[in-house]
């Protein structure tokens, strides 16, 4: 057994010496010469990066104007020629009621009362702290508002306001018990 191990050891020593003998030759002389020549050449020069101008943002200020390559739009004014179609007008000869001196935004609905005949009244508070009792048919607000309906949670009214063309139009409004106006 010891002979087998000695033979394997002797074989390993022979292989190692054979490999060492092969590498000690001057087989790399041409590679060494090429490396020496390459190191002796002058090194290359890298150009510096060019200087760039900073980007200046441009704000286009004519976005709301007509495009210069489109023809102008012909606008015809039709509202000037129209006559008021509505025959609605406020009655300026009737005596004004107390709540017509207040702006509608200054008035709030605070409750309701039921009369002895079963009719329902709304309680309206003005900005001076006074409480007023109103029902259908009463006038309220500075725009000739006439109350057309009262229920437990809301007062419906119709105001008569100018239409901007010399006439008048009716505008429905409402006041709710929580104070919102519609």
Question: In the 8-state DSSP scheme, what is residue 108?
Answer: E
Range with top average pLDDT, 15-24, 68-77, 138-147: 138-147
pLDDT tens digit sequence for 87-104: 888 888 889 999 999 998
pLDDT tens digit sequence for 121-140: 999 999 888 999 999 999 99
The closest alpha carbon to 177, from 114, 125, 130, 117, belongs to 125
Q: Where are the alpha helices (DSSP H) in the chain?
A: 2-23, 29-40
């Amino acid at each position: 057994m010891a002979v087998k191990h000695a033979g394997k050891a002797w074989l390993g020593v022979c292989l190692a010496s054979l490999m060492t003998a092969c590498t000690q030759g001057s087989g790399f002389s041409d590679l060494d010469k090429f490396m020496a020549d390459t190191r002796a050449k002058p090194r290359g020069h890298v150009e510096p990066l060019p200087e760039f101008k900073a980007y200046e943002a441009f704000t286009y200020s004519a976005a709301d104007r007509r495009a210069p390559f489109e023809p102008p739009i012909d606008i015809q004014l039709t509202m000037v020629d129209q006559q008021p179609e509505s025959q609605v007008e406020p009655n300026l000869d009737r005596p004004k009621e107390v709540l017509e001196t207040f702006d509608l935004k200054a008035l709030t609905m605070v409750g309701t009362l039921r009369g002895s005949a079963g009719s329902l009244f709304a309680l309206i508070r003005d900005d001076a702290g006074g409480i007023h009792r109103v029902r259908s048919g009463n006038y309220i607000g500075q725009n000739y508002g006439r109350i057309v309906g009262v229920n437990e949670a809301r007062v419906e009214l119709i105001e008569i306001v100018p239409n901007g063309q010399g006439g008048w139009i009716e505008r429905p409004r409402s006041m709710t018990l929580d104070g919102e106006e519609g």
